[in-house]
């Protein structure tokens, strides 16, 4: 995901002013996207269910809107180029659909979901071309966050949270013993359950971190530091939250403290930590969001890009080939 520096913000495209040479390619993109989503509909249904019904992934409902906003910011730059279908993109479509089929066959939803998402990303490359895909590098990369992930790191996060909490409890003067995920204190026995692992907080912060890092920073060093903060801070903060629950329970009882903790963590705590992270980074912001990524003038200087665009494909062929691949994948999934 290599968005680079731009000196001036691109002018926004006025509503209803889609250039003539973009109209057919955009219609083609809608057609192939529908075909690919129809072919992989089972995975898209599973992903939407997770976004909607599982609170760990509720924030992913915002990702399509974030992607749309990022594309809108690049609309002016897109009008400065002409879309050129790129046949090597079809190779990525094939690879993505194979990944989807492998995930369905093996029962590994993460692979199937990733394949369904990458197929759409590859379709943009195939239908709109390499130059357009480079201009849209950040919104396309944000598409990776449509894939629900994070369950795999719940167990280690539980142990980290337990260790931070028991260390702080002991420092506060409250006697405590720990055995695995169980913390025994005078007020009762506390268990760092999956819901207390902080994975929801961490995944949401990582998503926000990528968005902010590549829209507000130009320096890779600052991006790396900000991303590190978006990983380390929520982990530490979750340990502090668990400690606070145990400490307060010594006075008001374990049941009351736990109930209060869930309300505060769900509605207030995340917002406070998020605000603190953004406030801490604010003074080092280097650019405005519309300056993210490359601009058309920068891409025009890349000789290799012009050479790569000789691998062109007729627009109708791009649509026919992609839709055919989607149909083949759908049939293969039914066998």
Question: Is the four-CA dihedral 51, 54, 57, 58 of positive or negative sign?
Answer: positive
Tokens describing residue 122: 């590859």
| Amino acid 226: pLDDT | 97
pTM: 0.88
DSSP calls for 159-178: HHHHHHHHHHHHHTT---EE
Q: Which helix (H) or strand (E) holds 2?
A: none
pLDDT digit string, tens, across residues 58-113: 999 999 999 999 999 999 999 999 999 999 999 999 999 999 999 999 999 999 99
Residue owning tokens 């502090």: 240
206-210, 243-247, 303-307: least confidently modelled range: 243-247
124-177 pLDDT, tens digit each: 999 999 999 999 999 999 999 999 998 889 999 999 999 999 999 999 998 999
pLDDT at residue 258, rounded to an integer? 65
From the list 265, 22, 13, 271, the residue with the least C-alpha distance to 132 is 22
pLDDT of amino acid 262 = 62
Residues 6+ apart with CB under 8 A from 171: none
Cα separation, 146 vs 142, in Å, equals 8
Q: How far apart are CA 33 and CA 43, in angstroms?
A: 14
Q: Do 129 and 95 meet the contact criterion of CB atoms below 8 Å apart? A: no
d(CA 115, CA 43): 9
Q: What is the dihedral angle through the alpha carbons of 184, 188, 194, 195, rounded to the nearest 10 degrees?
A: -140
CA–CA distance, 105 with 115 (Å, rounded to integer): 13
What average pLDDT score do residues 246-251 get? Answer: 81
- Number of CB atoms found within 10 A of residue 237's CB: 23
The domain spans of the chain are 20-149+290-334, 152-282
For the stretch 290-331, pLDDT in tens is 999 999 999 999 999 999 988 878 888 999 999 999 999 999
What mean pLDDT do residues 243-270 have?
Answer: 71
- Measure the CA–CA gap between 31 and 320, rounded to whole angstroms: 10
**Confidence check: pLDDT of 266 > 70:** no
pLDDT of residue 131: 96
Report angle CA 298, 301, 303 to the nearest 5 degrees: 135
How distant is the alpha carbon of residue 99 from its chain centre? 19
With CA atoms as reference, report the closest residue to 135 among 240, 290, 14, 279. Answer: 290
Mapped to the 3 state alphabet, what secondary structure does 285-307 carry? CCCCHHHCCCCHHHHHCCHHHHH
Q: What is the pLDDT of residue 255?
A: 66
Q: Over range 235-260, report the average pLDDT.
A: 79
pLDDT single digits (tens) 8-38: 444 444 445 788 889 999 999 999 999 999 9
């Amino acid at each position: 995901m290599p968005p680079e520096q731009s000196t001036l913000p691109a002018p926004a495209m006025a509503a209803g002013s889609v250039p003539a040479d973009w109209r057919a390619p955009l219609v083609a993109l809608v057609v192939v996207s529908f075909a690919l989503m129809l072919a992989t509909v089972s995975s898209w249904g599973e992903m939407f269910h997770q976004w909607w019904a599982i609170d760990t992934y509720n924030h992913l409902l915002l990702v399509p809107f974030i992607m749309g906003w990022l594309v809108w910011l690049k609309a002016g730059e897109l009008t400065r180029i002409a879309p050129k279908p790129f046949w090597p993109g079809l190779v990525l479509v094939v690879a993505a659909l194979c990944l989807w089929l492998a995930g369905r066959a093996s029962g590994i939803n993460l692979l199937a979901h990733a394949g369904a998402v990458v197929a759409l990303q590859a379709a943009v490359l195939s239908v709109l071309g390499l130059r357009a895909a480079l201009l849209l590098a950040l919104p396309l990369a944000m598409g990776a966050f449509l894939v629900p992930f994070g369950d795999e790191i719940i167990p280690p996060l539980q142990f980290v949270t337990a260790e931070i909490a028991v260390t702080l409890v002991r420092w506060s003067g409250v006697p405590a013993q720990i055995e695995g995920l169980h913390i025994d204190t005078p007020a009762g026995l506390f268990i760092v359950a999956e819901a207390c692992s902080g994975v929801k907080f961490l995944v949401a912060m990582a998503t926000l971190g990528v968005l902010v890092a590549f829209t507000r920073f130009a320096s890779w060093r600052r991006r790396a530091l900000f991303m590190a903060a978006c990983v380390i801070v929520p982990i530490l903060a979750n340990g502090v939250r668990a400690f606070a629950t145990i400490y307060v329970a010594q006075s008001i009882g374990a049941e009351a403290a736990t109930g209060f903790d869930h309300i505060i963590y769900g509605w207030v705590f995340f917002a406070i930590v998020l605000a603190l992270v953004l406030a801490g980074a604010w003074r080092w912001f280097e650019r405005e969001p519309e300056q993210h990524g490359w601009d058309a003038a920068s891409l025009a200087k890349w000789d290799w890009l012009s050479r790569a665009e000789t691998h062109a494909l007729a627009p109708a062929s791009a649509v026919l080939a992609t839709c055919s691949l989607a149909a083949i994948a759908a049939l293969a999934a039914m066998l």
